[in-house]
Amino acid sequence: MIIGCGDEASNNSTPDSFDRVTFLTYYADSLIIPEYAKLNREVGELKISIERFASSSDEQSLKNAQIAWHEAYMQWQNCSSFDFGPAQGNFGTLSEDIGTFPSTITGSQSKKGIEEYIASGDNSLSNFARDTRGFLGIEYLLFESDDNEVVRKFQSAEGEKRKAYLIAITNDIVTKINEVYTKWSQYRSKFIENNGTDAGSSTSELYNEFVKSFEALKNYKYGLPAGKRPGQTKSEPDKVEGFYSGSSFETSRKHWETIQRLWQGKTTNGYDGIGFEEYVASTVTGKDLVLSTQVQIKSVNDAFNSFPNNITLSQAITTNEPSVETINTELQKMTRFLKSDMSSLLGISITYSSGDGD
């Protein structure tokens, strides 16, 4: 999911008095590395649960694997905004490799889906079909139907191929996350030392990935399934994140909470340190932007709080639930504060591109 907005150079600069070394050190040591460490542990538990399910293929082991998947994927929401540095691979980013959705289940002559890879026994993953693996590929295999049917498929004559593919894509996630987490221990010093604001600096990369992550939430977790993206003529509720597990709203809300924490500089334990909020406040007119941003953050929180607790996001889109429109609208309003205004005041250019038009 590659998102963003056109190259926007800014003409306002932040006073040199702001301590970016302390700022970057805090983000590395309190917001980035600890969350990758927890994600590394969670996917380790997921691997164990998947292997046990593959071995026994009963409903209890399936349920345990589903729970482990949910916990690992929720933790991924705390890390997906850090798609730079060690998360940048030779052929794409960590988010692209393990977080692409919607999954392609049944493909075509030119493009295979998950079921074709399983049927052919191709577990090599030596392709760019990222929508056939990753967290959402595992989700499909564990949640595609009711538990009885899922177990039946894994116990069938073709079950061994299904197990092999599930284990392969799980191992792929574990390997990639472990690599990123391990590399951060070496990258940390470089991240803190590269404390300018020019393109390629740590401050620029951190900020740009923060905004990209916000726009992934806005454009693809809400805009796409709600039918709001360019070229769409109707809603497509089956394109929500976490369609098969019914976790779309929960994961998207977790994603928003992460964006909010990164703006505030808060850890998952609630400690409020030096964040973008303080960075913006250090500029000449930054305190006004902080206040207006806080107001809009509350509006987004109110929109999320208005979502009914008895239906999934895809069901809400299907029934034209107005709370979906409200969330989408408030996220759109948030763009100005986190993107154009913030970029201008901090003197940091938007260095990625998209067709958003905002």
What are the sequence ranges of the domains in the chain? 20-346
Asked whether 36 and 25 are in contact (CB, 8 A), the reply is: no
The residue type found at 291 is L
Q: Which two tokens stand for residue 332?
A: 């759109």
CA neighbor of 279 nearest in space, from 263, 293, 259: 263
pLDDT score of 27 more than 80: yes
Query: How far, in Å, CA of 299 to CA of 302, rounded?
Result: 5
pLDDT score of 321 more than 70: yes
Asked whether 172 and 73 are in contact (CB, 8 A), the reply is: no
Query: How far, in Å, CA of 242 to CA of 74, rounded?
Result: 11
- DSSP code of 355? B
Asked whether 12 and 354 are in contact (CB, 8 A), the reply is: no
Residue 11 confidence class, pLDDT cut points 50, 70, 90? very low
pLDDT score of 121 more than 80: yes
Asked whether 162 and 154 are in contact (CB, 8 A), the reply is: yes
Q: What is the pLDDT of residue 90?
A: 85
CA neighbor of 222 nearest in space, from 233, 235, 210, 212: 235
Residue 238 confidence class, pLDDT cut points 50, 70, 90? very high
CA neighbor of 101 nearest in space, from 63, 140, 68, 72: 140
Residue 133 confidence class, pLDDT cut points 50, 70, 90? very high
Residue matched to tokens 């702001």: 18
Residue 356 confidence class, pLDDT cut points 50, 70, 90? low
- Quick one: average pLDDT of 275-297? 97
Q: What is the pLDDT of residue 144?
A: 97
pTM given for the model: 0.93
Percent of the chain with pLDDT over 90: 91
pLDDT score of 204 more than 50: yes
Q: What is the pLDDT of residue 162?
A: 98
Q: What is the pLDDT of residues 140-188, one digit of tens each?
A: 999 999 999 999 999 999 999 999 999 999 999 999 999 999 999 999 9
Number of other CB atoms surrounding residue 308 within 10 Å: 12
Asked whether 245 and 72 are in contact (CB, 8 A), the reply is: no
DSSP string, 224-265: TTTT-STT--S--GGGSTTTTTT-HHHHHHHHHHHHHHHHHT
As a whole number of Å, the CA-based R_g of the chain is 21
pLDDT score of 4 more than 90: no
The residue type found at 221 is K
Q: What is the pLDDT of residue 107?
A: 86
Residue 194 neighbours by CB under 8 Å, 6+ apart: 200, 201, 202
Q: What is the pLDDT of residue 7?
A: 41
SS3 call for 322: helix
Compare 91 and 137 and report the one with higher pLDDT.
137
Look at phi and psi of residue 4 and say left if phi exceeds 0, alpha if psi is from -120 to 50, else beta: left
20-346: CATH number: 1.20.1420.20
pLDDT score of 355 more than 60: no
Q: What is the pLDDT of residue 8?
A: 40
Q: What is the pLDDT of residues 89-100, one digit of tens each?
A: 988 999 999 999
Q: What is the pLDDT of residues 45-102, one digit of tens each?
A: 999 999 999 999 999 999 999 999 999 999 999 999 999 999 999 889 999 999 999 9
Q: What is the pLDDT of residue 151?
A: 98
- Quick one: average pLDDT of 252-270? 98
Q: What is the pLDDT of residue 352?
A: 86
